[in-house]
């Protein structure tokens, strides 16, 4: 007669299943915590890389606003205004290689169209097309591309990758975005501000939301162009204190608040960005931290009556900004997006001293 194994009791099975679920949840939580810590370390590493970077005086890289003189920024903005009115073939026959580690809409289209309008050609490379930092070092990639093209634009995960590319490239390198900064966007924002409200010097700009790469470039610009920057950001998401301290030493006029209402009071311009960027970990925690930092009609009423609203896009209506503000009369986001094209044409021309 075959041996009859006793059946487990219903209670014992339930306990075992519950224990397994708890273990799985603990494992998932531990994995999430590791991912968050890893992301935080990556951003900290990028910040330290940026703070230690020394610009190459033998070529015109566009790495960060911090590394340009105010006169250079003014030269780029002036050229962008001119090119917006009347295009010129300033880069006839020149070649741009643009590399994307991260997906893009505005950056890719504006650089491709811009280079075409200037008379040049574009080679677009996705990370899946290349061996950048994997089978081939970043340094070797820079050296090879320098033999083919006149200019390189990189949209990278890590600021360190950008700096390594610039160090070993014989041709100018442009920062199309990193985890530390987004200078092309802020140059477009400043062009838009000055089209709408005149010279940004002495203006009051209010930032509401995450202390991210876009904010870092606004901080750089404050030091160079002489405007006041009021920041409303949760303490947990503020930019690095070392970075803020250096910006203040360099002349940035920064006030940090935990209250959006205080930050936007009498502001000339209110700026925000998405709460979640590509690669951000633990979205639930970030949303909980930022839930009181939405730019809506009630908040805009505390700014000046003629204040404008900016967002670098993509936007998420109902999260960082209400639909009534994003699509309202104070919003200049579509002009802001268009001006990426014009300012990046000017940046490319400046890099090649073709202006």
Query: Residues with catalytic annotation?
Result: 155, 182, 185, 273, 312, 340
Bond from prior residue into 9 cis (ω within 30 degrees of 0): no
Torsion of the alpha carbons at 175, 176, 179 and 181, rounded to the nearest 10: 60
Cα(351)–Cα(59) distance, integer angstroms? 8
Work out the burial of residue 146: count CB atoms within 10 Å of its CB; fewer than 13 is exposed, 13-18 middle, 19 or more buried: middle
φ and ψ of 151, to 5 deg:
-160, 140
The closest of 237, 208, 196, 226 to 338, measured between CA atoms, is 196
77 within 8 A of 187, measured Cβ to Cβ: yes
The span from the first CA to the last CA of the chain, in angstroms, equals: 96
Collapsed DSSP state (helix, strand, coil) of residue 184 = helix
104, 212, 200, 97: which is closest to 150 by C-alpha? Answer: 97
For residue 41, give both structure tokens.
């370390």
Q: Who's near 294: CB < 8 A, 6+ residues apart? A: 319, 320, 321, 322
Q: What is the DSSP secondary structure assignment for residue 306, as one 8-state letter?
A: T
């Amino acid at each position: 007669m075959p041996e009859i194994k006793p059946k487990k009791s219903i209670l014992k099975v339930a306990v075992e299943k519950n224990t397994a679920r708890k273990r799985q949840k603990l494992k998932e939580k531990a994995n999430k915590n590791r991912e968050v810590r890893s992301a935080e370390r990556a951003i900290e590493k990028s910040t330290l890389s940026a703070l230690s970077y020394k610009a190459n005086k033998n070529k015109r890289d566009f790495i960060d606003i911090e590394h340009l003189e105010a006169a250079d920024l003014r030269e780029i903005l002036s050229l962008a205004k001119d090119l917006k009115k009347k295009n010129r073939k300033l880069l006839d026959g020149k070649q741009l290689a643009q590399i994307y580690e991260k997906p893009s809409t505005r950056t890719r289209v504006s650089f491709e169209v811009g280079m075409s309008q200037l008379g040049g050609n574009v080679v677009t490379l996705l990370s899946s097309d290349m061996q950048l930092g994997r089978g081939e070092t970043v340094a070797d990639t820079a050296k090879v591309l320098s033999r083919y093209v006149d200019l390189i634009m990189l949209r990278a995960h890590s600021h360190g990758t950008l700096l390594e590319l610039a160090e070993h490239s014989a041709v100018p390198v442009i920062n199309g975005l990193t985890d530390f900064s987004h200078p092309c966007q802020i140059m477009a924002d400043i062009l838009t501000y000055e089209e709408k409200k005149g010279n940004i010097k002495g203006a009051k700009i209010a930032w509401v939301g995450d202390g991210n790469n876009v904010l870092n470039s606004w901080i750089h610009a404050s030091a160079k162009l002489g405007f006041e920057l009021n920041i409303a950001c949760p303490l947990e998401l503020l930019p690095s204190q070392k970075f803020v301290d250096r910006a203040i030493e360099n002349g940035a006029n920064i006030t940090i608040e935990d209250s959006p209402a205080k930050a936007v009071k009498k502001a000339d311009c209110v700026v925000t960005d998405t709460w979640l960027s590509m690669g951000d970990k633990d979205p639930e925690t970030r949303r909980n931290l930022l839930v009181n930092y939405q730019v809506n009609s009630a908040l805009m009423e505390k700014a000046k009556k003629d204040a404008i609203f900016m967002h670098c896009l993509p936007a998420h209506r109902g999260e960082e900004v209400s639909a009534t503000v994003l699509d309202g009369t104070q919003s200049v986001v579509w002009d802001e997006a268009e001006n990426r094209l014009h300012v990046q044409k000017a940046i490319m021309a400046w890099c090649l001293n073709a202006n």
